[in-house]
Structure formats: C-alpha cells, structure tokens
Structure 1
Amino acid sequence: MNISVVVLAKNNEKTIGKTLNSLIEFDDVVVYDNGSTDGTISIAKGFKNVNLVQGEFKGFGWTKNYATSFAKNDWILIIDSDEVVDSELLKELKNKKLDKRTVYKLNFKAFYKNIQVKHCGWNNQKIKRLYNKDVTSYNSNDVHEDIITQGLNQELLKGNVEHYSYHSISEFIIKADRYSTLFATNNVGKKSSSPTKAFFNGMYSFFRTYILKQGFRDGYVGLIIAFSHAVTNFYKYIKLYELNKELKK
C-alpha cells in the first residue's frame, strides 16, 4: 500500500503489540517514541515493517507533524498506540482509490479494558486520520490537534478503529493531569479563567456526559468516564487561572 502509518507511543506496552499486529500489511509504519521506560520500544523493534524513531514531545500537533516527516509515502494514516485497525477498514484502505484533495475520516469504537463503551459520546466518533502530506498537515495545537481541511473535501471510510484507551482508573487520573496541564500552558495569556468558571465547567461536563450523552447506560464505566471529564475540565480552567495570575505578577 502507498500509505505510511504514523504511531505516537509512550509507555504503551499493554496495547502497542495489538496495534502493530493490525498494521502488519503496511510496508511503512513509523513508531515515534517519546520517552518510553517500559517494554514499548522492544515490542516495536520486533516488527519488521516498523521504523522506530525516538524523539521529544512538543505537544500533539507539532509532534505528529514531526513524526510524519519520517514517513516514506505521501499518504499518512495516524493511528495511536492504543488503537487497532479492524479487517473491514484494512480492506477499505487496500482497495480505496484515494483523492489528494480529500481528508478521510475513520469510525471509532471505544473500550475501557475490554468493555465497549456505547454511550458517553465515545462510541462511533468520526475522526479525521488519513491525509496527503503534500496537501495538508496537522495544526500546531498542543491539545485538540486536528488536520487542516480548509478548501478540502472530507469522506468517511468503511470499517472501524477499536480504541483501547484506558486499562485502569489510575490512567484516567494521569491523563486528566497531563491534558489539563497542556491546555493551561497552551492558553495562558490568551484565555481568561476563574475558580467559578472551573467549577461550572466541571459540573456541566459531568452532566453532559452522564445525562445528556447517556453515560449512565454504560454502568459503572459511564460513571468513571463522566467524573473523569468533570475533573479534567475543572483542572484545565483552574490551572489556567493560576498560570494567568502568575503571568500578571
């Protein structure tokens, strides 16, 4: 296939083997590792089609664009190291005639451990992941990075990506801290915040996830996800408030 797959990785020994097994039919898979201290690197080295690159992390937008520079092909498929390409999507990628002026979306099925999350706004998300690097790239956002699509078409491909993003409650806590810090540092001096804004953003995030998006139908997993969203949003804005105060000093 004339598609290079780019995979960002850091301490993903639980999932990266499954990810790379699903990409075995691609000739060029770039694994960009940014500081793994577990078995991630040794697992990646076990795949003959993997080009392992080790480098630094400077926010998701910059890092994805930099990792893409090591790809051999113009067509870039971004797959995270906790995601699995299913057989239907693989078949579609092998047979699809791609248009350079189109950015392609993939359908995502979300899992906590091996439990499929069918609500919370997690299931069947359509996310842009396949593009031609001669035509476009990711924006430079540290978080909530996205492929630039101005003046381009968009199309949804058949098949699914299975996303195994969390394997313990502790991982929710770690990611909440990491993402909220990235948000705050990326927006300090640009956006205003306050303790009140932080509180109500957190409360509304829980209500939206658990009630409006029917997270309660996912049982205790839905409660974990809704509370994690609340915590992340609270810390995003309280950290931003604190950084803005320090900036004024």
Structure 2
Amino acid sequence: MNISVVVLAKNNENTIKKTLESLKGFSDVVVYDNGSTDKTIEIAKSFSNVNLVQGQFKGFGWTKNQAASFAKNDWILIIDSDEVVDLELFTTLKTKTLDKNIVYKLNFKAFYKDIQVKYCGWNNQKIKRLYNKTITKYNSNDVHEDIITQNLQMEVLKGNVEHYSYHTISQFIIKADHYSSLFAKNNAGKKNSSPTKAFFNGMYSFFRTYILKRGFLDGYVGLIIAYSHMVTNFYKYMKLYEANKELKK
C-alpha cells in the first residue's frame, strides 16, 4: 500500500500495542512520541514496520503535520495511539484506488473501557483522517485541529476505527484540564468570554449530551461523558476569560 500511517503517542503503554497490531499490514508506520516516560517507546520499537520519531508537541495541528513530514508516502492516515483499524477498513484501504483531490473520512466506534458507547454523539462519527500531503494538511489549531478541505471533495470509506479513548474516570478529568487549557491558549485575544458564558455553555453541553443526544441510554457511562463535556466546556471559557484579562494587563 502507498499509505503511511502516522500515530501520535505519549504514555500510551496500555493501548498502543493493540493499535500497532492492527497496523501490521502497513509497511510504513510513523510513531511520533512526544515525551513518553512509560513503556510506549519500548512497545513501538518491537514492531518492525514502525519508524519511531521523538519530537516536540506544539499543539495538535502543528504536531500532526510535523509527524507526517517523516512519512515515506504521500498518502497519510492519521490513527491515534488508542485506536484500532478493523479488518473491513484495512481491506478497503488495501484495495481502494485513492484520488488525491479527495479527503477520506473514517467511521468511528467509541468505547469506554470495553463498553461501546452507542449514544452521547460518540458513535458512528465520520472523521477526516486520510489525505494526500502534497495537496493538503492539518490546520494549525492547538486543539480541534482539522484537515483543510478547501476545493477538495470528501468520501466516507467502508470499515471502522475502534476508539478506546478512556479507561478510567481520572482520564476524563486529566483530558478536561488539558483540552481546556489548549483552547484558552489558542483563542486568547481572539474570542470573548465571561463567567456567565462559561456557566451556560457548560450547562447546555450537559443537556445536549445527556438529553438531546440520549446519553442517558448509555447508563452510567453516558452520565460520566455528559458531565465531562460540561466540565470541559465550563473550564474552556473560564480559562479563556482569565487569559483575556491577563492580556489586557
């Protein structure tokens, strides 16, 4: 296949082996590690098709573009270190004739531990992940990064990516803090915020996830996800409010 897989990694010893096992059929897998202190690097080195690169993290957009620069092929498939490519998707990628003027979307199945999340807006999301780096790249956003698709078409591929993003409640808390900080940093001086906006944005986020997107049907997992969305959005706008105040000084 003329596809290089790019995997960002940091302290993912619990998930990256499963990820790399699903990518054995690819000849070029770039694992871009940005500071692991666990066994992530050791695990990556055990796979013969992996090109391990150790570098800096400067926001998700910049870092994904930097990691893609080490790929041998022009076609770049972005897979996170807690995601698994299923057999149907691998077969599609192996047989598909790719068009460089198309950015390809993948279908995602989300899991908490080994419990599939069927609601909360998490299941069957179509996310842009395969592109030709001679035509496009990721934007420079620190968070909520995306592949630039101006003047390009999009197509959804058959098959799935299984996303095992959370294994403990503590991971929700850590990611809420991390993502809210990146959001504030990326939008300081560009967007307005206030405590009132933070409060109502957080409340609406919970209502949307738990009620409108039927997160309650996912049981206690749906409650965890909805509350995490609320907390993340509350702190996003509170941190932005503080950042804007600091800029004014």
Equivalent-residue separation in structure 2 for 1:246 and 1:138 (angstroms): 29
Matched, 1:118 2:84: no
> What are structure 1's unaligned runs of at least 5 residues?
none
Equivalent-residue separation in structure 1 for 2:100 and 2:221 (angstroms): 40
Could you list the runs of 4 or more consecutive aligned residues of structure 1 that deviate by over 6 angstroms after TM superposition? none
Equivalent-residue separation in structure 2 for 1:153 and 1:246 (angstroms): 42
Equivalent-residue separation in structure 2 for 1:224 and 1:36 (angstroms): 27
> What are structure 2's unaligned runs of at least 5 residues?
none
Matched, 1:157 2:157: yes
**Residue type of the partner of 1:51?**
N
Shift of 1:246: 1.0
Does the residue aligned with 2:104 lie in a helix, a strand or coil? strand
Does the residue aligned with 1:143 lie in a helix, a strand or coil? coil
Name the counterpart of 2:45: 45
Equivalent-residue separation in structure 2 for 1:244 and 1:103 (angstroms): 36
Q: 1:90-239 alignment to 2 at 5 Å?
A: 90-239=90-239
Equivalent-residue separation in structure 2 for 1:131 and 1:241 (angstroms): 36
Name the counterpart of 1:35: 35
Equivalent-residue separation in structure 2 for 1:242 and 1:102 (angstroms): 41
Equivalent-residue separation in structure 2 for 1:37 and 1:214 (angstroms): 38
Name the counterpart of 2:64: 64
Equivalent-residue separation in structure 2 for 1:195 and 1:49 (angstroms): 49
Equivalent-residue separation in structure 2 for 1:9 and 1:133 (angstroms): 20
Equivalent-residue separation in structure 2 for 1:141 and 1:133 (angstroms): 17
Does the residue aligned with 2:137 lie in a helix, a strand or coil? coil
Equivalent-residue separation in structure 1 for 2:98 and 2:5 (angstroms): 15
Name the counterpart of 1:247: 247
| TM-score, length basis structure 2 | 1.00
Aligned length: 249
Deviation string 1:112-150 (CA, Å, 9 cap, x unpaired) is 000000000000000000000000000000011000011
Give the % identical residues: 83
Equivalent-residue separation in structure 1 for 2:38 and 2:100 (angstroms): 38
Shift of 1:38: 0.7
Shift of 1:76: 0.3
What do you get for the CA RMSD once the two structures are aligned?
0.3
